[in-house]
Structure 1
Amino acid sequence: MVAVFSKDVLSWYLITIKLKEAVDGNLSKSPPPGAQPRWQALVRNLPLLADVGEAGGEALQRQERERPGEVQAQSPGHSPKPLDPEWVVTIRGKLAQARDEEAACPWARLSVYRVPKSLRDGDERAYVPQVVSIGPLHHGQRRLREMERHKWRALHHVLKRTGRDVTFYLDALRPMEERVRACYDGHVAGMQGNELAECLVLDGTFVLELLRGARDGGKGFVDDLRYSRHDPIFAMRGAMHAIRNDMILLENQIPLFVLDLLLGLQLNNPEQAGVVVTLALRFFDPLMPTDAPLLRKERSRLESSIGAEAAAVAAAFDPLSGPKLHCLDVFRRSLLRAGLQPTPPPPPARHWLRKLSGLRCVADKRRQQFVHCVSELREAGIRCRRRKTDRFWDITFDNGVLRIPRILIHDDTKSLFLNLIAFEQCQMDIATPGGNNVTSYAIFMDNLINSADDVKYLHDRGIIEHWLGSDAEVADLFNRLCQEVVFDINDSYLSGLSDQVNRYYDYKWSTWIASLKHNYFSNPWAIVSVVAGVFLLLLTMAQTFYAAYSYYRPRN
């Protein structure tokens, strides 16, 4: 039905219907070829007469656009097209929205993700900032507003040092609005363009001030950036520790190209790149779960033992090369640098059929078991020793000895590893250096550690150094890191090593020797007892032999 907004329109509509009925009843002759029936021309032009009612004309035109042909005169033998129900119209609208989203493909440029609920259920606090919000995902939260005034102070210092007006930075970031929005998971639709630009300038400036000032124990804040020695934030006091932990969270990131642009504008060199990476490496160094870098003499000795071919491979592998996404990505890449990327040994023969067919195992919780725990490996004769290297992921196995680099465990290690693992789970681009190395290492250590006794053994061997309350807390930490993480161990850099360990574990002779050592040669007194027992056994056998010999061969 046509919506009627005017009496004039209604009159013309009724006249049209009556005229059509009269013409259909009276005209019996067909018009000559090429001629147009007069009544059809009249009926076609009648809607134009509805212009006497402006509202009615707009209604007719709108209905014509929405349902073409419905307001035209109906010819005999044609029935009107039925309208879709309201719920079908709703479904069509959702499909149109999905089509537009698919065409835009925003996830191709995602880099700052919201942690999936399946991972977040394990420990919500590990993924949520506690002191400061960086970026739009946690912007404006009530419990984080205390730090906002310090952000504005940092922006004031920058404007004062550079002699620029704030509009200079805002205008530079506005053209990047769409690119920035595409980096965030969840469509930052709640923030308008001006509000997003303000957030990026304010938070980005705050981050850069922290990165630039954190040198030599915070001397850069006073000497270079002109902050007071008694500043509550920019003086490397206790708050800096909590701020650094928040700045490494996955949901608390700003794209690196934004930080590069802001720093370039401050230094009057907008084309510069790479400086923020160097500053971030220095700032987040205290969070490294490894020892301090090796001494120059020790490092040169290790590099000389690698060999020419291996050194070439080491030079080719540089995780810090290529585009970086944000500070968490830079930190993760820095964990995987400084040496060779482990190359898995050739797969065992039992995998030839799967490799030949090209099939891949589906990620499954049952396929996360690399090796047995430390207690079981010790029963099979496998020993664990500390490997002297600053590459915490570089684990080797040779002749029954599993060599594991030292790792430092502190209160923030759990949050650090959880965010690194969440980033690897969300970042689908496995072509990036070390696509899932942190996850693989965490699951490998989870397999090794099942109890406090396992932690104690690794601690006694110098592999684990921790500042937690007990060994049981360390075991619980590793056992909870990858509770909801699933992946195929065949895609891990430790898959070849785990095959070697498991083959050695299944070798029965080594198990028997290990059992003999554990039961009879575990301490000096046990060794003395075994030797004395063997000596008495030999004497008894000799006595028995001579007694039997004298019986069958008596002396003459």
Structure 2
Amino acid sequence: MASNFVNTKQLASDMKEEIERCEKGLRSDAGSSSCCIYRVPSKFVDNNGHWYTARTVSIGPYYYYSEGLDRDYKYQCLGSFLSRTRKKGIGLEDCMKKLLPLERETRQCYSAEIQQSDLSSNDYLEMMVLDGCFILELFYKFHDPEVVKSDEPLAHLLWRLPYFYVDLLLLQNQIPFFVLQKLFDISMIPDEEHGPSLSLPLLALRFFNNVLRRPDEAIERYDNPENRPLHLLDLVRSSLIPNDPTASLNDEDTHIQYSKCCRYEIIVRMIEPRLQDTHIQSIPCISNLRSSGIRVRPVKADSFLAVKFKDGLIEMPSITINDFMRYLLLNCVAFEQCYKSCTKYVTAYATLLDCLVNTSADVQYLREHIVIDNYLADDHEVALFINGLGKDVTVDIRHCYLSKLFNDVDKYYRKNSHVYFASFRRTYFNTPWSFISASAAFVLLLLTVVQTIFSIITYVHPNN
């Protein structure tokens, strides 16, 4: 075999350059340790299309140069915001001075491409002030319905409002929450119901509650100084996490368990033998689960994430599937997949839905049992959405808040006695007429047995 001369020195130099290029790419993708606002990974965009893209309003640097996103209404809201702060002696320059020292910190909240971008400090500061004041003014105005009716400039924005609700919760369309907090602190208005203690998280959640329609107590429990959201998407996502410790793990425990799973999986298996004995896997669709007698029942809860299972019954709060919910769930899942320190509550719930739903027949069953409230075109479209929601996402179901549910459902499904009983119930008790027929047959059988017993007694003891 002929041997070719190999320049090992040149080959090693080329390989080192490739290593540096790949390491630079990894650093660019990851950004800094403070990064919490990401570009949505291409695999999610390929699976779900435009549900991550701003349609009306651009927030933050990712869409700064995008065409078709008009900024006039943002300047209208900025003017209204300054009219409010001017009463307190605070002008536009004061807002800029508040945010100017935060440029480096805010840039680090984005991926490396923004941290190293050629977006000048002037443009960056203008963007933060304009976007932050626009968001706060929306919250202020829609906090008071009377203002909405009497504010003529705002009336021209009402048709955009459904798009604002969506665009403000896109992962790629965020600014850091502490920017909003700085501007809020210098412009805070008193709350007629609760006095001057109205917090920014509560003000924001009340705004989005115009769409989510949750009870007031469900969002007011989140009004806690210890809650420090990263941005508006994280705020709404965190407010959905169940507050019942029996229904889910708390954030700290979940984060610890995820850290173990990601970094020390082999060690955890060695020092925690119980993990080896726990057989947990994805569960079948609801059509197959019904064959083992597992049923679904709607329950009232503050969050649709509060799912439980007991004695063959999956208790699921009703969830409304409409365009807003599609945007919210998809962007929450994308955020949880990108942010390494984030608990995976919505991802676990998306995995559960993806397991339960394979076809439109599964959606029909959940809809008829008031678990899914379908506002899309048909059940087939809901099935496609749910299957896309759980596609290419990673979650360790042994360490998620639904791990016990997955385990219990799987064990229940595998018991043959449940399958036989469920089959018997479907055969003889599926309809009122089948129940009546089965009851009549049972009574007839019972009478026959009694008659037989008396015949035997008469034969054995003829005199009696």
Of the three residues 464, 474, 479, the one matched with 2:372 is: 464
The 3 A distance-change label for structure 1 pair 477 and 547 is same
- Residue 407 of structure 2 corresponds to residue 499 of structure 1: yes
The answer to whether the 8 Å contact 1:370/1:495 transfers is no
Q: Which residue of 1 aligns with 2:193?
A: none
The 3 A distance-change label for structure 1 pair 446 and 319 is farther
Deviation at 1:197, TM superposition (A): 0.5
SS in 2 for 1:397: strand
Deviations 1:142-200 (A, max 9, x none): 111x2x11222222333344345533333332221111110111432130111101111
Letter in 2 for 1:185: S
Which residues in structure 2 correspond to 1:46-61 (within 5 Å)?
A: none
In 2, the alpha carbon distance for the partners of 1:341 and 1:470 equals: 35
Between 129-138 and 161-170, report the one with greater CA deviation: 161-170
In 2, the alpha carbon distance for the partners of 1:87 and 1:427 equals: 35
In 2, the alpha carbon distance for the partners of 1:89 and 1:532 equals: 86
The 3 A distance-change label for structure 1 pair 401 and 213 is same
The answer to whether the 8 Å contact 2:176/2:230 transfers is yes
- Residue 119 of structure 2 corresponds to residue 191 of structure 1: yes
The answer to whether the 8 Å contact 1:120/1:127 transfers is yes
In 2, the alpha carbon distance for the partners of 1:180 and 1:354 equals: 37
In 1, the alpha carbon distance for the partners of 2:25 and 2:323 equals: 45
Larger radius of gyration: 1
In 1, the alpha carbon distance for the partners of 2:303 and 2:267 equals: 32
Q: Which residue of 2 aligns with 1:242?
A: 163
Deviation at 1:476, TM superposition (A): 2.1
The answer to whether the 8 Å contact 2:37/2:171 transfers is yes
Between 536-545 and 519-528, report the one with greater CA deviation: 536-545
Letter in 1 for 2:104: E
Deviation at 1:90, TM superposition (A): 11
In 1, the alpha carbon distance for the partners of 2:59 and 2:68 equals: 14
In 2, the alpha carbon distance for the partners of 1:368 and 1:506 equals: 12
The 3 A distance-change label for structure 1 pair 543 and 275 is closer
In 1, the alpha carbon distance for the partners of 2:431 and 2:301 equals: 31
> What's the TM-score once normalised by structure 2's chain length?
0.78
Percent identity over the alignment?
A: 31
Q: Which residue of 1 aligns with 2:73?
A: 150
Deviation at 1:449, TM superposition (A): 1.8
Which residues in structure 2 correspond to 1:285-364 (within 5 Å)?
A: 285-288=209-212, 292-293=214-215, 321-340=226-245, 342-343=247-248, 356-358=269-271
SS in 2 for 1:125: coil
Q: Which residue of 2 aligns with 1:275?
A: 199
The 3 A distance-change label for structure 1 pair 544 and 222 is closer
Deviations 1:291-325 (A, max 9, x none): 6428x8xx9xxxxxxxxxxxxxxx9x998734221
In 1, the alpha carbon distance for the partners of 2:429 and 2:311 equals: 20
In 2, the alpha carbon distance for the partners of 1:258 and 1:216 equals: 23
Of the three residues 111, 119, 124, the one matched with 2:36 is: 111
Letter in 2 for 1:280: A
The 3 A distance-change label for structure 1 pair 170 and 503 is same
Please report the RMSD computed on the Cα atoms of aligned residues, expressed in angstroms. Answer: 3.9
Q: Which residue of 2 aligns with 1:168?
A: 94
In 2, the alpha carbon distance for the partners of 1:216 and 1:266 equals: 16
Which residues in structure 2 correspond to 1:447-526 (within 5 Å)?
A: 447-526=355-434
SS in 1 for 2:37: coil
- Residue 183 of structure 2 corresponds to residue 262 of structure 1: yes
Between 386-395 and 335-344, report the one with greater CA deviation: 335-344
Q: Which residue of 2 aligns with 1:232?
A: 156
The 3 A distance-change label for structure 1 pair 277 and 358 is same
SS in 1 for 2:81: helix
- Residue 101 of structure 2 corresponds to residue 178 of structure 1: no
The answer to whether the 8 Å contact 1:368/1:486 transfers is no
Letter in 1 for 2:282: F
Q: Which residue of 2 aligns with 1:395?
A: 307
The answer to whether the 8 Å contact 2:305/2:317 transfers is yes
Structure 2 stretches of 5 or more lacking a match? 1-8, 190-195, 250-265, 274-278
Deviation at 1:343, TM superposition (A): 4.3
In 2, the alpha carbon distance for the partners of 1:512 and 1:199 equals: 64
The 3 A distance-change label for structure 1 pair 473 and 89 is closer
The 3 A distance-change label for structure 1 pair 283 and 368 is farther
Deviation at 1:239, TM superposition (A): 1.0
The 3 A distance-change label for structure 1 pair 171 and 216 is closer
The 3 A distance-change label for structure 1 pair 200 and 238 is same
- Residue 64 of structure 2 corresponds to residue 136 of structure 1: no
In 1, the alpha carbon distance for the partners of 2:330 and 2:303 equals: 19
In 2, the alpha carbon distance for the partners of 1:469 and 1:93 equals: 49
Q: Which residue of 2 aligns with 1:420?
A: 332
Deviation at 1:251, TM superposition (A): 0.6
Q: Number of matched residues?
A: 421
The 3 A distance-change label for structure 1 pair 399 and 97 is closer
In 1, the alpha carbon distance for the partners of 2:361 and 2:445 equals: 37
> What's the TM-score once normalised by structure 1's chain length?
0.66
The 3 A distance-change label for structure 1 pair 159 and 403 is closer
Between 497-506 and 449-458, report the one with greater CA deviation: 449-458
Letter in 1 for 2:170: L
The 3 A distance-change label for structure 1 pair 216 and 130 is same
In 1, the alpha carbon distance for the partners of 2:246 and 2:455 equals: 68
Between 388-397 and 493-502, report the one with greater CA deviation: 388-397
Deviations 1:211-261 (A, max 9, x none): 1111243x34577xxx4266412xxx2211111110110010011111111
- Residue 351 of structure 2 corresponds to residue 443 of structure 1: yes
Structure 1 stretches of 5 or more lacking a match? 1-83, 300-314, 345-352, 361-366
Deviation at 1:96, TM superposition (A): 10
The answer to whether the 8 Å contact 2:293/2:418 transfers is yes
Deviation at 1:201, TM superposition (A): 1.0
In 1, the alpha carbon distance for the partners of 2:366 and 2:22 equals: 55
The 3 A distance-change label for structure 1 pair 471 and 85 is closer
The answer to whether the 8 Å contact 1:320/1:334 transfers is no
The answer to whether the 8 Å contact 2:56/2:167 transfers is yes
